[in-house]
């Protein structure tokens, strides 16, 4: 069942729900979307960010502002220890889950042949090994819709880490802006 996800442009702090104002989430939007310069040097992370490994996304944030975990499609399942470390060791209480437009993990089956050719050409794998590897791993990383995925994943993480605020977002590669996502 497909859920309707709303993208909310955040141009000003007032565009955020009140529970996200005056938090590291607001700072993230202001640093990235509004190119706000930091008035301080960060010596410790204020939040954690989970986002896709895609090379087209670069966040405009100060050094030391956030722990960043990158994985295909922003899939964190099985790697939650990185987030729990950020929470436990650095005491971060805010997590941004960032999907992006035109994600390679969406419609992954359509990219199978090109991927297999790359495995064979660049890794020297046989066609059979390439196919087996793709089939075994593609199931884990395939997502139908990036926005729906991070909204669902944010809910899962919020229940797993109950004293944190987990916020689903979308990075549009077309305009390089962050958007808040909500059902």
- At 82-127, the pLDDT tens digits run 899 989 999 999 999 999 999 999 988 899 999 999 999 999 999 9
Residues 54 and 130 in one domain: no
Q: How many domains does the chain have?
A: 2
Same domain? For 61 and 12 the reply is yes
pTM for the model stands at 0.92
Could you tell me the residue range of the domain that residue 66 belongs to?
Answer: 6-104+144-182
State mean pLDDT over 20-29. Answer: 98
Residues 98 and 117 in one domain: no
Q: Over pLDDT 70: what percentage of the chain?
A: 98
Residue 80 lies in a domain: yes
- Binned at pLDDT 50, 70 and 90, residue 2 comes out as low
Q: Which residues pair with 96 in a beta bridge?
A: 49, 167
| Separation in Å, CA 183 to CA 9, 15, 137, 177 | 14, 16, 29, 19
The answer, yes or no, to whether residue 145 has pLDDT greater than 90, is yes
pLDDT of 37 above 70: yes
pLDDT of the residue at 166: 97
1 in any annotated domain: no
Res 112: pLDDT: 95
How many Cβ atoms sit within 10 Å of the Cβ of residue 100? Answer: 23
Residues near 23 by beta carbon (within 8 Å), at least 6 away in sequence: 94, 165
- Cα–Cα distances in angstroms (integers) from residue 127 to residues 31, 92, 118, 123, 141, in the given order: 46, 45, 10, 11, 21
Q: 97 and 124 in one domain?
A: no
For residue 55, tell me if it sits in a domain.
yes
Q: Quick check: is 15 in a domain?
A: yes
In this structure, are 38 and 61 located in the same domain?
yes
Residue given tokens 């954690």 in the structure block:
48
Q: What is the pLDDT of residue 149?
A: 95
């Amino acid at each position: 069942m497909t859920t309707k996800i709303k993208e909310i442009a955040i141009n000003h702090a007032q565009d955020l729900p009140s529970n996200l104002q005056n938090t590291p989430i607001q700072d993230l939007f202001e640093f990235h979307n509004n190119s706000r310069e930091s008035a301080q040097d960060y010596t410790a992370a204020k939040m954690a960010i989970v986002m896709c490994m895609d090379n087209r996304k670069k966040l405009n944030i100060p050094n030391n502002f956030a722990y960043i975990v990158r994985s295909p499609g922003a899939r964190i399942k099985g790697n939650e220890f990185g987030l729990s470390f950020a929470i436990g060791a650095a005491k971060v209480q805010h997590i941004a889950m960032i999907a992006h437009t035109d994600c390679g993990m969406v419609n992954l089956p359509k990219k199978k042949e090109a991927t297999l050719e790359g495995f064979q050409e660049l890794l020297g794998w046989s066609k059979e090994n390439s196919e087996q590897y793709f089939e075994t791993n593609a199931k884990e990383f395939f997502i139908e819709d990036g926005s729906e995925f991070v909204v669902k994943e944010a809910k899962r993480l919020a229940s797993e880490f109950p004293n944190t605020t987990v916020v689903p977002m979308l990075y549009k590669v077309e305009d390089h802006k962050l958007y808040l996502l909500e059902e």
